[in-house]
Amino acid sequence: MTEKIKIGIVGYGNVARGVERAIAQNPDLELCAVVTRRDPSSVKVCTEGVQVVSAADAASLTGKIDVMILCGGSATDLPDMGPQYAALFNTIDSFDTHACIPSYFEAVNQAATANGHTSIISVGWDPGTFSLNRLYAESILPDGAHYTFWGRGVSQGHSDAIRRIPGVKNAIQYTIPVEAAVEAAKSGSQPVLTTREKHTRECFVAAKEDADLAAIERTIKEMPNYFSDYDTTVHFVSEDELKANHSKMPHGGFVIRSGKTGDGNHHVIQYSLDLDSNPEFTASVLVCYARAAWRLNQKGETGAKTVFDIPPALLSSKSGEQLRKELL
Amino acid sequence: MTEKIKIGIVGYGNVARGVERAIAQNPDLELCAVVTRRDPSSVKVCTEGVQVVSAADAASLTGKIDVMILCGGSATDLPDMGPQYAALFNTIDSFDTHACIPSYFEAVNQAATANGHTSIISVGWDPGTFSLNRLYAESILPDGAHYTFWGRGVSQGHSDAIRRIPGVKNAIQYTIPVEAAVEAAKSGSQPVLTTREKHTRECFVAAKEDADLAAIERTIKEMPNYFSDYDTTVHFVSEDELKANHSKMPHGGFVIRSGKTGDGNHHVIQYSLDLDSNPEFTASVLVCYARAAWRLNQKGETGAKTVFDIPPALLSSKSGEQLRKELL
């Protein structure tokens, strides 16, 4: 039996706990350490025998962890954490601030290359498997257009934005693709679709007693970037109803490419996800890319990578022979 | 401007002509030669300036062609043609006899490796992009099951089998996924679906005058391997109707993976194709893998490969920087 790949997790929130569950589904991987910014004694890890280490002592794990999965946020955690950990370990992260990916890639690449590590950035489903499907489909059908739709699913960012409005106790926001836009995307007419045409937003809000509901609704609908470009519906519900019916984190969506070949033959490639738990699915993607990062590093392929650079076979626990026989 | 990648095609049937059309959509590729087993003077290639060479003289093209795309059939052409051309050129083929892939891989690998060439076998959509999606989805959701459905589309093999029945002038066979089976596959119950439950077969047959229609219908429905395991419908139509309504080669289908994470959260990953022209789409996949084969060869990565071994970025004409900015 070959040795298991030793995984560490930085953070212990929703995605990190999803990583822990995903590792348990992969017999060739084992969770060895959780790195936390909190007091390590306050973090109770479900898996037995896992070391909990303070972020300040992360360097003490070098040589003991094969791949570190960074479960920090893109806004404030990863810009520093990414390069910092790439200097110490092979890493995986889910950096998703699209506009900053080029500079983040450079920073991680420098740290990883200088220290002989392999770091795969922006792993998950978007960026991640959605990106892969945009790339494959565009390469196959260069004469075409692609469309990405998200939902029906909970957007944490939009839910948080509503929660910050005075008078709001709690809120959940669903992003919903517009059926007519999906049909137009597949039609072959290659339409240009506006933000408003592609998605609607539906909000379930538990307000404080005596709150001005009309004012809350207006504030939501007029909020720039988050809601003003969308047709938004607001439902006021009790906190109990919010808990009972809206406490899961479903998400999903689809990438469509519509393209032409020859004398106008039309083709549609579609990749769809329908997910009960956004953080657990994201975690499952991170975990199979950890396997790939370790294998690349063993072959001496160091530096920053994205999902675009990873040969698919490296994600699987199966041998090339098995894959050709069972899945090709 | 960097030099274009010089492509050759072996054969000049439906897929080969699709390859020619696809190359025209990719400015970094150029079609330089068509290799034929027929009299070269009888083959009129649409693209100007393309050399037509007899298969007997294929070796005269070594050094002039960067990648040769083999458009032969899997049953009789490729088993010899694959290793033979892999000894002379970098190659792409769409070998699709699943049971023989391991031995074919070995034969091509030996020829390619010994001669410093890179050969990507079994490229297309199944095997091909469907295989990729089986691999990605299984790696992400190891606790799950996958289902491949084909159609609605024309099966050439089944159409040919009907045409060989005495009394049949012409015929077209459609493979059709059963809606209830598709729903069951997505349900999360991970059912085991029989051949009969997954697909039905619909046949449009133009019979000769005075042919025994009942006998033809019986022969079709009882044909082992091809029809006896399926619910099959036979429609007798005129040859004119067959030409008018059934002369295109649409196809498609989907790969579904249904899997679980954590405490029974259920996820569905689906990849779907809806194709007006099966040969043109297959050709478009072959062409972008030709780009990858050339790039791998330039990096010294020789031998036989499958789609599982190819980093997705190598398929695109865009740089890594562009891909990270535009598609990640």
Stretch A65-72: mean pLDDT: 97
Stretch A125-145: mean pLDDT: 98
Q: Kindly give, in sequence order, each residue whose CB lies less than 8 Å from that of residue B63, ignoring residues fewer than 6 positions away.
A: none
Which chain B residue has its CA at the smallest distance from A316's CA? B139
Cα–Cα distance, B184 to B201 (Å, whole number): 20
Q: What is the pLDDT of residue B157?
A: 87
- Tell me: pLDDT of A203 over 60: yes
Nearest to A306 among B272, B316, B328 (CB): B328
- Please tell me the distance in Å from B13's CA to the nearest CA on chain A: 14
Q: Which two tokens stand for residue B255?
A: 């790969």
∠ Cα B322 A308 A272 (to 5°): 105
Query: For the segment A281-304, what is each residue's pLDDT rounded down to a tens digit?
Result: 999 999 999 999 999 999 999 999
Q: What is the DSSP letter of B125?
A: B
Q: What is the pLDDT of residue A1?
A: 56
Q: Name every chain A residue with its beta carbon within 8 A of the beta carbon of B320.
A: 308-309
Query: For the segment B301-326, what is each residue's pLDDT rounded down to a tens digit?
Result: 999 999 999 999 999 999 999 999 99
Contact at CB, A309 and B311, closer than 8 angstroms: yes
CB proximity under 8 Å: B 183-242 to A: 186
Contact at CB, A25 and B142, closer than 8 angstroms: yes
Contact at CB, B136 and A129, closer than 8 angstroms: yes
- Tell me: pLDDT of A72 over 70: yes
CB proximity under 8 Å: B 18-47 to A: 18, 21-22, 25-26
CB proximity under 8 Å: A 57-86 to B: none
* DSSP H or E stretch at residue A95: none
Q: What is the pLDDT of residue B156?
A: 87
Asked if the C-beta of A313 comes within 8 angstroms of chain B's C-beta atoms, the answer is yes
Q: Which two tokens stand for residue B289?
A: 């893998």
CB A208 within 8 A of CB A239: no
Looking at this predicted complex, what is its ipTM? Answer: 0.96
- Residue B135's pLDDT band (boundaries 50, 70, 90)? very high
Nearest to B232 by CA among B164, B162, B185: B162
**DSSP-derived 3-state class of residue B5:** strand
- Tell me: pLDDT of A2 over 80: no
Q: Name every chain A residue with its beta carbon within 8 A of the beta carbon of B99.
A: none
DSSP codes, A104-146: HHHHHHHHHHHTT-EEE-S-SBTTBHHHHHHHHHHHH-SSEEE
Query: For the segment B197-254, what is each residue's pLDDT rounded down to a tens digit?
Result: 999 999 999 999 999 999 999 999 999 989 999 999 999 999 999 999 999 899 999 9
Q: Which two tokens stand for residue A49?
A: 């025998």
**DSSP-derived 3-state class of residue B61:** helix
- Tell me: pLDDT of A6 over 80: yes
Q: Name every chain B residue with its beta carbon within 8 A of the beta carbon of A122.
A: 328
**Nearest-10 Cα torsion for A151, A156, A161, A166:** 110
Stretch A209-230: mean pLDDT: 95
- Please tell me the distance in Å from A316's CA to the nearest CA on chain B: 5
Q: What is the mean pLDDT of chain B?
A: 96
Query: For the segment B158-198, what is each residue's pLDDT rounded down to a tens digit?
Result: 999 999 999 999 999 999 999 999 999 999 999 999 999 99
Q: Name every chain A residue with its beta carbon within 8 A of the beta carbon of B141.
A: 284
- Tell me: pLDDT of B1 over 60: no
Q: Which two tokens stand for residue B73?
A: 């059939």
Contact at CB, B262 and A317, closer than 8 angstroms: no
CB B76 within 8 A of CB B104: no
CB–CB contacts below 8 A, A to B: 207
* DSSP H or E stretch at residue A36: strand A29-36
- B230-259 b/e with 16+ CB inside 10 Å = b? bebebebbeeeebeeebeebbbbbbbbbbb
Percent of chain B with pLDDT over 90: 95
Secondary-structure percent of chain A, ordered helix, strand, coil, rounded to 5:
40, 25, 35
Stretch B43-54: mean pLDDT: 95
Q: Kindly give, in sequence order, each residue whose CB lies less than 8 Å from that of residue B322, ignoring residues fewer than 6 positions away.
A: none
Cα–Cα distance, B214 to B22 (Å, whole number): 44
Interface test with A, best of B92, B152, B248, B324 (most A CBs within 10 A): B324
Nearest to B18 among A133, A261, A311 (CB): A261
- Residue B2's pLDDT band (boundaries 50, 70, 90)? confident
- Tell me: pLDDT of A142 over 60: yes
